[in-house]
Amino acid sequence: MVKKIAIFFGYISFFILALLYFTPKISLYYFAEQELKAFDIVVSSETLVDTGFSLKIQNPTINIKSIESAKIQELDITILGLYNSVNISNIGLSSTAKSFLPLNIEYVNITHTIVDPLHINAQVKGEFGEAKAVVNILDRNLSIVLLPSKLMKEKYANTLRNLKKSENGEFVYAKTF
């Protein structure tokens, strides 16, 4: 009896893994790209690589309302159902953002797990410092905690004034959408 149950779960696991592996990730990416156009967000100049369980997007350029906003070196999207992640590395923001914050972001890691299904978590590191963000899906709010770098404190103090400073030197931004 135990052997039959083990074989049953083995087949189910194999089926799920095969389904994830053979999902047409590139087609889903192009569908998502079409959906983003409704918000005037266009992704161009990218190279797509389906690695089986993830989709790597190399060298995309992001344009918002026909204005070049960011260039990304690599974006890796992994959707496994139980654990989903988006890892973005080496982001260069457009020079139009230079008056608000530093232009180079080292990485952005976004995760969503079945262990905590109501929250999407993100960690960001760049010239501005380090930030942790949490999106509460149920309450529809965003909370960002920023530990600013020396550069951010010295050259972008006006931006930091728009954030709430906590006792331990971190800056907090909260918004409901």
Report how many domains make up the chain: 1
> Strand, coil or helix: what is 145?
strand
**In terms of Cα–Cα distance, which of 91, 89, 90 is closest to 62?**
91
> Strand, coil or helix: what is 65?
coil
| 131-174 pLDDT, tens digit each | 999 999 999 999 999 999 999 999 998 999 989 999 888 999 99
Q: Average of pLDDT values for 61-82?
A: 94
Whole-angstrom distance, CA of residue 124 vs CA of residue 14 = 35
81 pLDDT above the threshold of 90: no
Structural contact between residues 72 and 91, judged by C-beta atoms closer than 8 angstroms: yes
Residue numbers of the domain that contains 132:
2-176
Q: Can you give the pLDDT at residue 36? A: 95
Whole-angstrom distance, CA of residue 88 vs CA of residue 13 = 29
DSSP states along 9-29: HHHHHHHHHHHHHHS-HHHHH
| Average per-residue pLDDT for the chain | 94
